[in-house]
């Protein structure tokens, strides 16, 4: 493995993908893996982390979507040379450049997330409720530490947990699919301190309504959250246009 003495711990806790992401991210942020360093192969990583190659691939794709890794097909994956400020600039630029597509996906999420929250409130699975609560805690920690990457992870996991709370696997798949397309958009909005605080409050309201079994409140909170995101995306896009 690139970097003498670098160690990866076997993963023992769920969710596996997020744990793999965090371990790889830690190696980048603590300097064990430096800009330009090549990651071990998927096979080597899967053996060290004791997870499937699919889990490793998903973790790499997440970090690559954020610009922290660069995947060169045929020659492997390397650590990006871009610093945090450069990455945040790229997230904002990507969001402004794809504003039309993002609006379309957020329109789909209005129906999907509102329905999922409403359905989850009917009889939420306890494990999914625990995950939602835990991810809100991680969002707060990410806010305190100005860590948008962890916030994005927690955000994605929160909405996956809503799907899981419904017991509908197809719904989970749809939520995951859309979530994968909006990684950089989430990173852009989570980079704003004011947005992070609003988002934490909004996710908390969704969680509390689902936990209380209040379908109407859960639906309303999910819709209010997405409307808030849409406003912030519009403001971000306008700011980027002014700076051109």
Fold of 89-242: 1.20.120
pTM, rounded to two decimals: 0.86
- Write out pLDDT tens, residues 39-49: 998 899 999 88
> What is the C-alpha to C-alpha distance for residues 56 and 233, in angstroms, rounded to an integer?
31
Average pLDDT, the chain: 89
> What is the C-alpha to C-alpha distance for residues 204 and 135, in angstroms, rounded to an integer?
10
The per-residue pLDDT for 12 is: 38
- Write out pLDDT tens, residues 50-108: 889 999 999 999 999 999 999 988 778 999 999 888 999 999 999 999 999 999 999 99
Contacts of 197-205 with CB under 8 Å at 24 or more apart are: 197/143, 198/228, 198/232, 199/139, 199/151, 199/155, 199/225, 199/228, 199/229, 200/136, 200/139, 200/140, 200/143, 202/228, 203/132, 203/135, 203/136, 203/139, 203/155, 203/158, 204/136
CA distances from 18 to 135, 168, 182 (A): 11, 21, 16
The per-residue pLDDT for 11 is: 40
* Torsion angle in degrees (nearest 10) through CA of 148, 46, 76, 80: 20
- Write out pLDDT tens, residues 129-162: 999 999 999 999 999 999 999 999 999 999 999 9
Sequence spans of domains, the chain: 16-79, 89-242
Query: How do strand 76-79 and strand 69-72 relate by DSSP bridges?
Result: antiparallel
Fold of 16-79: Arc Repressor Mutant, subunit A (1.10.10)
């Amino acid at each position: 493995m690139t970097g003498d003495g670098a160690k990866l711990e076997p993963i023992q806790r769920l969710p596996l993908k997020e744990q793999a992401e965090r371990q790889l991210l830690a190696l980048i942020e603590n300097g064990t893996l430096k800009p330009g360093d090549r990651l071990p192969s998927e096979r080597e990583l899967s053996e060290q982390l004791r997870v499937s190659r699919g889990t490793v691939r998903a973790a790499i794709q997440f970090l690559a979507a954020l610009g922290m890794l660069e995947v060169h097909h045929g020659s492997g994956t390397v650590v990006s040379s871009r610093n945090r400020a450069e990455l945040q600039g790229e997230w904002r630029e990507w969001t402004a450049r794809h504003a039309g597509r993002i609006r379309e996906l957020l329109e789909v999420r209005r129906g999907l997330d509102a329905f999922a929250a409403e359905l989850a409130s009917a009889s939420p699975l306890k494990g999914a409720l625990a995950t939602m609560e835990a991810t809100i805690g991680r969002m707060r920690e990410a806010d305190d530490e100005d860590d948008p990457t962890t916030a994005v992870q927690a955000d994605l996991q929160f909405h996956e947990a809503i799907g899981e709370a419904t017991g509908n696997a197809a719904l989970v798949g749809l939520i995951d699919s859309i979530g994968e397309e909006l990684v950089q958009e989430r990173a852009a909005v989570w980079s704003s301190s004011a947005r992070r605080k609003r988002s934490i409050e909004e996710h908390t309201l969704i969680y509390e309504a689902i936990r209380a079994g209040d379908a109407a409140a859960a639906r309303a909170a999910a819709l209010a959250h997405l409307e808030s995101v849409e406003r912030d995306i519009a403001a971000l896009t306008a700011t980027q246009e002014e700076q051109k």
